[in-house]
Protein backbone atom coordinates (compact mmCIF):
# COMPACT_ATOMS: atom_id res chain seq x y z
CA UNK A 1 0.00 0.00 0.00
CA UNK A 2 2.84 2.37 0.87
CA UNK A 3 4.56 1.74 -2.44
CA UNK A 4 1.32 2.38 -4.32
CA UNK A 5 0.82 5.58 -2.33
CA UNK A 6 4.25 6.90 -3.25
CA UNK A 7 3.63 6.15 -6.91
CA UNK A 8 0.36 8.07 -6.72
CA UNK A 9 2.17 10.99 -5.06
CA UNK A 10 4.76 11.07 -7.81
CA UNK A 11 2.04 11.10 -10.44
CA UNK A 12 0.34 13.99 -8.66
CA UNK A 13 3.56 16.03 -8.56
CA UNK A 14 4.15 15.58 -12.26
CA UNK A 15 0.56 16.18 -13.42
CA UNK A 16 -1.16 18.50 -10.94
CA UNK A 17 -1.84 22.06 -12.06
CA UNK A 18 -4.48 23.06 -9.52
CA UNK A 19 -2.34 23.47 -6.40
CA UNK A 20 -2.57 26.79 -4.57
CA UNK A 21 0.39 28.59 -3.01
CA UNK A 22 0.89 29.59 0.62
CA UNK A 23 3.74 31.94 1.50
CA UNK A 24 5.15 32.35 5.02
CA UNK A 25 8.30 33.87 6.51
CA UNK A 26 10.81 31.63 8.19
CA UNK A 27 10.31 31.27 11.94
CA UNK A 28 6.52 31.50 11.77
CA UNK A 29 3.79 28.88 11.99
CA UNK A 30 1.55 27.74 9.16
CA UNK A 31 -1.43 25.37 8.93
CA UNK A 32 -2.15 23.53 5.67
CA UNK A 33 -5.58 22.09 4.90
CA UNK A 34 -7.17 19.66 2.50
CA UNK A 35 -10.76 18.48 2.15
CA UNK A 36 -11.71 15.19 3.79
CA UNK A 37 -13.11 13.26 0.84
CA UNK A 38 -13.83 10.07 2.78
CA UNK A 39 -17.29 9.61 4.24
CA UNK A 40 -16.07 6.80 6.54
CA UNK A 41 -12.99 6.51 8.77
CA UNK A 42 -9.98 5.54 6.68
CA UNK A 43 -6.19 5.81 6.59
CA UNK A 44 -5.22 9.40 5.82
CA UNK A 45 -1.68 10.59 5.18
CA UNK A 46 0.07 13.90 4.55
CA UNK A 47 2.81 13.84 1.90
CA UNK A 48 5.49 16.30 0.93
CA UNK A 49 7.35 16.53 -2.37
CA UNK A 50 10.65 18.41 -2.60
CA UNK A 51 11.81 19.68 -6.00
CA UNK A 52 9.02 17.60 -7.61
CA UNK A 53 11.14 14.44 -7.44
CA UNK A 54 11.08 12.97 -3.93
CA UNK A 55 7.69 12.27 -2.27
CA UNK A 56 7.82 11.58 1.47
CA UNK A 57 5.16 10.68 4.03
CA UNK A 58 4.98 13.21 6.85
CA UNK A 59 2.05 12.08 9.05
CA UNK A 60 -0.55 9.34 9.03
CA UNK A 61 -3.69 8.70 11.03
CA UNK A 62 -6.79 6.51 10.85
CA UNK A 63 -10.01 8.45 11.04
CA UNK A 64 -10.41 11.68 12.96
CA UNK A 65 -10.41 10.17 16.45
CA UNK A 66 -7.14 8.21 16.35
CA UNK A 67 -3.74 9.50 17.33
CA UNK A 68 -1.58 10.57 14.36
CA UNK A 69 1.90 9.12 14.00
CA UNK A 70 5.06 10.42 12.33
CA UNK A 71 6.38 8.79 9.22
CA UNK A 72 10.02 7.85 8.94
CA UNK A 73 12.39 10.83 8.90
CA UNK A 74 10.04 13.35 10.51
CA UNK A 75 9.99 14.46 14.14
CA UNK A 76 8.57 17.27 16.26
CA UNK A 77 7.48 20.43 14.50
CA UNK A 78 4.53 18.84 12.63
CA UNK A 79 1.02 18.33 13.97
CA UNK A 80 -1.80 16.51 12.18
CA UNK A 81 -5.51 16.70 13.00
CA UNK A 82 -8.78 16.02 11.26
CA UNK A 83 -12.51 16.52 11.50
CA UNK A 84 -15.44 15.45 9.37
CA UNK A 85 -14.72 17.92 6.54
CA UNK A 86 -11.04 18.93 6.75
CA UNK A 87 -7.60 17.43 7.39
CA UNK A 88 -4.98 19.79 8.90
CA UNK A 89 -1.18 19.81 8.97
CA UNK A 90 0.41 22.43 11.23
CA UNK A 91 4.10 23.24 10.83
CA UNK A 92 5.77 25.15 13.67
CA UNK A 93 8.72 27.51 13.21
CA UNK A 94 9.07 26.82 9.50
CA UNK A 95 12.41 27.24 7.76
CA UNK A 96 13.57 27.13 4.15
CA UNK A 97 13.83 23.33 4.18
CA UNK A 98 10.07 23.07 4.75
CA UNK A 99 9.30 24.51 1.30
CA UNK A 100 7.64 22.06 -1.07
CA UNK A 101 4.39 20.57 -2.32
CA UNK A 102 2.06 19.11 0.35
CA UNK A 103 -1.05 16.99 -0.26
CA UNK A 104 -3.33 14.39 1.39
CA UNK A 105 -3.85 10.79 0.40
CA UNK A 106 -6.93 8.75 1.38
CA UNK A 107 -7.03 4.98 1.17
CA UNK A 108 -10.53 4.22 -0.07
CA UNK A 109 -11.73 0.78 -1.21
CA UNK A 110 -8.24 -0.51 -1.83
CA UNK A 111 -7.08 2.58 -3.75
CA UNK A 112 -5.20 5.71 -2.74
CA UNK A 113 -7.07 8.87 -3.70
CA UNK A 114 -5.16 12.13 -3.82
CA UNK A 115 -6.82 15.28 -2.47
CA UNK A 116 -6.01 18.94 -3.16
CA UNK A 117 -2.35 20.05 -3.03
CA UNK A 118 -0.70 23.10 -1.48
CA UNK A 119 2.61 24.63 -2.54
CA UNK A 120 4.36 26.04 0.53
CA UNK A 121 6.93 28.80 -0.03
CA UNK A 122 9.07 29.80 2.94
CA UNK A 123 10.79 33.18 2.63
CA UNK A 124 13.95 34.03 4.51
CA UNK A 125 13.26 37.04 6.73
CA UNK A 126 16.79 38.39 6.14
CA UNK A 127 16.32 38.30 2.39
CA UNK A 128 12.99 40.14 2.78
CA UNK A 129 14.75 42.92 4.73
CA UNK A 130 17.45 43.11 2.06
CA UNK A 131 14.81 43.35 -0.66
CA UNK A 132 13.06 46.18 1.20
CA UNK A 133 16.34 48.06 1.67
CA UNK A 134 17.26 47.52 -1.96
CA UNK A 135 13.84 48.76 -3.04
CA UNK A 136 14.23 51.89 -0.86
CA UNK A 137 17.68 52.52 -2.32
CA UNK A 138 16.37 52.20 -5.87
CA UNK A 139 13.50 54.57 -5.07
CA UNK A 140 15.90 57.19 -3.69
CA UNK A 141 18.13 56.81 -6.74
CA UNK A 142 15.19 57.34 -9.09
CA UNK A 143 14.13 60.42 -7.12
CA UNK A 144 17.64 61.91 -7.48
CA UNK A 145 17.68 61.17 -11.22
CA UNK A 146 14.27 62.79 -11.70
CA UNK A 147 15.39 65.85 -9.71
CA UNK A 148 18.52 66.28 -11.86
CA UNK A 149 16.50 65.91 -15.07
CA UNK A 150 13.98 68.48 -13.85
CA UNK A 151 16.71 71.04 -13.10
CA UNK A 152 18.40 70.39 -16.45
CA UNK A 153 15.18 70.78 -18.42
CA UNK A 154 14.35 73.97 -16.52
CA UNK A 155 17.75 75.46 -17.46
CA UNK A 156 17.27 74.46 -21.11
CA UNK A 157 13.84 76.13 -21.22
CA UNK A 158 15.23 79.36 -19.69
CA UNK A 159 18.16 79.48 -22.16
CA UNK A 160 15.84 78.92 -25.12
CA UNK A 161 13.47 81.63 -23.89
CA UNK A 162 16.35 84.13 -23.61
CA UNK A 163 17.62 83.28 -27.11
CA UNK A 164 14.14 83.62 -28.60
CA UNK A 165 13.73 87.00 -26.89
CA UNK A 166 17.05 88.23 -28.29
CA UNK A 167 16.19 87.05 -31.79
CA UNK A 168 12.82 88.78 -31.59
CA UNK A 169 14.49 92.04 -30.52
CA UNK A 170 17.01 91.87 -33.40
CA UNK A 171 14.27 91.11 -35.91
CA UNK A 172 12.16 94.05 -34.69
CA UNK A 173 15.16 96.40 -34.98
CA UNK A 174 16.02 95.26 -38.52
CA UNK A 175 12.40 95.56 -39.59
CA UNK A 176 12.27 99.16 -38.31
CA UNK A 177 15.48 100.03 -40.20
CA UNK A 178 14.07 98.55 -43.38
CA UNK A 179 10.91 100.60 -43.02
CA UNK A 180 12.91 103.85 -42.65
CA UNK A 181 15.20 102.95 -45.55
CA UNK A 182 12.27 102.10 -47.78
CA UNK A 183 10.65 105.48 -47.18
CA UNK A 184 13.81 107.38 -48.22
CA UNK A 185 14.26 105.28 -51.37
CA UNK A 186 10.67 105.89 -52.41
CA UNK A 187 11.14 109.66 -52.08
CA UNK A 188 14.35 109.46 -54.11
CA UNK A 189 12.61 107.47 -56.84
CA UNK A 190 9.78 109.97 -56.97
CA UNK A 191 12.24 112.74 -57.55
CA UNK A 192 14.09 110.85 -60.30
CA UNK A 193 10.94 109.95 -62.15
CA UNK A 194 9.69 113.50 -62.55
CA UNK A 195 9.01 114.27 -66.21
CA UNK A 196 11.54 116.51 -67.96
CA UNK A 197 10.09 119.70 -69.48
CA UNK A 198 9.83 119.62 -73.26
CA UNK A 199 11.50 122.33 -75.29
CA UNK A 200 8.98 124.24 -77.37
CA UNK A 201 9.91 125.30 -80.89
CA UNK A 202 9.09 128.81 -81.81
CA UNK A 203 7.67 129.54 -85.27
CA UNK A 204 10.05 130.88 -87.82
CA UNK A 205 8.35 134.25 -87.86
CA UNK A 206 9.02 134.68 -84.19
CA UNK A 207 12.64 133.79 -84.40
CA UNK A 208 14.96 136.70 -84.00
CA UNK A 209 17.07 137.66 -86.88
CA UNK A 210 20.55 136.63 -86.36
CA UNK A 211 23.06 139.46 -86.70
CA UNK A 212 25.72 139.53 -89.34
CA UNK A 213 23.53 137.55 -91.78
CA UNK A 214 22.53 139.00 -95.20
CA UNK A 215 19.05 138.17 -96.26
CA UNK A 216 18.06 138.41 -99.94
CA UNK A 217 14.73 138.16 -101.56
CA UNK A 218 14.32 136.86 -105.05
CA UNK A 219 11.40 136.44 -107.28
What is the DSSP code string of 13-78? HHH----EEEEEETTS-EEEEEE---SS--EEEEEEEETTTEEEEEEEEETTTSPPEEPTT--TTE
- Considering the domain boundaries, does residue 96 fall inside one? yes
Taking the C-alpha atoms of residue 118 and residue 114, their distance in angstroms, rounded to an integer, is 12
**Chain-centroid distance, C-alpha 196:** 85
Region 8-37: mean pLDDT is 74
**Domain match, 67 and 141 both:** no
Domain that holds residue 105: 2-123
Same-domain check for residues 17 and 105: yes
Tens of pLDDT, residues 85-101: 899 999 999 989 888 89
Give the pTM.
Answer: 0.50
- With cut-offs at 50, 70 and 90, classify the pLDDT of residue 15: very low
- Paired residues of 87 in beta bridges: 34, 82
Residue 44 belongs to a domain with what CATH number?
A: 2.60.40.10
Amino acid sequence: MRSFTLISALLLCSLTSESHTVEVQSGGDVTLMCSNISSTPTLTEWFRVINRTKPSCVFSMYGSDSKPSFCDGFQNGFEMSSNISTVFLKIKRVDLSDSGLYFCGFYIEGHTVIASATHLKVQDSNSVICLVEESDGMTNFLIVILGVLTVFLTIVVIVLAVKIRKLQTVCDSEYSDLQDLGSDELNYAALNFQAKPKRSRRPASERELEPHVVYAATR
